[in-house]
């Protein structure tokens, strides 16, 4: 490049001994010792496209229109064979392994969320009373490892193949004891589920490799988290096939960024077909400047329409990545919508 400049702009052709020479020390060019607190440099990309105003969700027709916008503009990577919540669901699941101990049963159930995407449900039930209420816990890799400790506390080395065998700590033993009492007294099941790329199906590679994987999803017009919302919907369908006589709507529980995935999954399911229990719900899809700001520090009115004084979402950079979502709505509007669609508890 330098030779081209010399030849065609200066009419010279000297030998280039040093490709790039510094003509001055860059430090004197510094304007600020520290960036002003109201700077926009590190998040200017958030201003490139205007954020959509809160959509009208007053009537069923308006909610259907927003749901279609989400389907077309945000979750466009979902397979086309399930355009509505009542059409063809996941591949028929199969129980691969079972362990029983002291009145409890642990089943490992596999299903395909879409072709070539096998996923697993881990269902803990009372052997004599499976038909009670179901709690489906959507977890990340850390949550799944904690679940593995709970399984080890109850079943020891008899846990089904594929589960890590680790020495459970006191917290895991106490949690298993509480689950045992709950299931033996009231029946039902507690089911753990990790969407694609997490838990038992975690993808190998360092942080740089994980970033490359997320970028590949975006090159296909979708995001990894957007497809995890699909996985949660398919997990619900798979469980309904395994346990068709479950009493009442299952509880869909999740924490942090996974709670946002569960929230959007519930919006695409039939009305009152699930109940939501969300913990540490991020307050917005906009990342916080320093990686985490309490809701009280969020912009005025950003969450007031959706949360009460005892509910404390956190504005956190860990909110899931969805394409175009802020062109449709934000977490507060999705949460307010969910309250009209199903039972919601935010902790």
Scored b (16 or more CB within 10 A) or e, 227-240 reads bbbbbbbbbbbbbb
Whether 194 contacts 139, CB under 8 Å: yes
Task: Quick: pLDDT tens for 298-347.
Answer: 333 333 333 333 333 333 447 899 999 999 999 999 999 999 999 999 99
Compute the Cα dihedral for 35, 39, 44, 46 and give only its sign. positive
In the chain, where the domains are located: 67-346
Mean pLDDT computed over every residue of the chain: 83
Q: Which of 99, 197, 188 is nearest to 141 (CA)?
A: 197
Task: Quick: pLDDT tens for 40-92.
Answer: 887 787 788 778 888 999 899 999 999 999 999 999 999 986 533 333 344 55
Whether 221 contacts 323, CB under 8 Å: yes
DSSP structural state of residue 259: H
- Give CA–CA dist 287/132, Å, rounded: 40
pTM score: 0.80
Count, residues in the chain: 347
**CATH code 1.10.10 for 67-346:** no
């Amino acid at each position: 490049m330098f030779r081209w400049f010399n030849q065609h702009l200066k009419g010279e052709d000297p030998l280039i001994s040093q490709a790039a020479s510094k003509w001055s020390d860059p430090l004197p060019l510094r304007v600020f010792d520290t960036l002003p607190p109201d700077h926009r440099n590190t998040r200017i990309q958030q201003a490139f496209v205007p954020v959509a105003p809160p959509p009208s969700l007053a009537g069923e027709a308006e909610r259907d229109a927003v749901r279609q916008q989400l389907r077309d503009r945000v979750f466009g990577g979902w397979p086309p064979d399930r355009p509505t919540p009542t059409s063809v669901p996941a591949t028929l699941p199969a129980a691969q392994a079972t362990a029983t101990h002291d009145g409890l049963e642990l089943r490992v159930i596999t299903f395909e969320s879409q072709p070539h995407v096998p996923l697993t449900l881990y269902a803990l039930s009372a052997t004599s009373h499976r038909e009670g209420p179901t709690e489906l816990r959507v977890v990340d890799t850390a949550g799944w490892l904690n679940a593995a400790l709970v399984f080890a506390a109850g079943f020891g080395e008899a846990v089904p193949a594929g589960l890590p065998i680790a020495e459970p700590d006191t917290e895991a033993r106490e949690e298993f004891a509480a689950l045992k009492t709950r299931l033996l007294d009231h029946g039902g099941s507690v089911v753990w589920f990790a969407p694609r790329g997490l838990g038992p199906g975690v993808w190998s590679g360092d942080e740089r490799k994980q970033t490359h994987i997320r970028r590949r999803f975006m090159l296909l017009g979708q995001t990894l988290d957007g497809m995890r919302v699909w996985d949660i919907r398919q997990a619900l369908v798979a469980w309904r096939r395994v346990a068709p006589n479950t009493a009442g709507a299952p509880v869909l529980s999740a924490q942090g960024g996974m709670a946002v995935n569960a929230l959007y999954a519930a919006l695409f399911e039939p009305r009152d077909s699930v109940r939501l229990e969300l913990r540490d719900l991020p307050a917005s899809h906009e990342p916080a400047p320093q990686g985490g700001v309490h809701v009280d520090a969020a912009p005025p009115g950003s969450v007031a329409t959706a949360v009460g004084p005892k509910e404390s979402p956190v504005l956190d950079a860990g909110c899931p990545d969805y394409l175009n979502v802020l062109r449709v709505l934000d977490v507060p509007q999705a949460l307010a919508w969910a309250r009209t669609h199903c039972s919601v508890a935010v902790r």
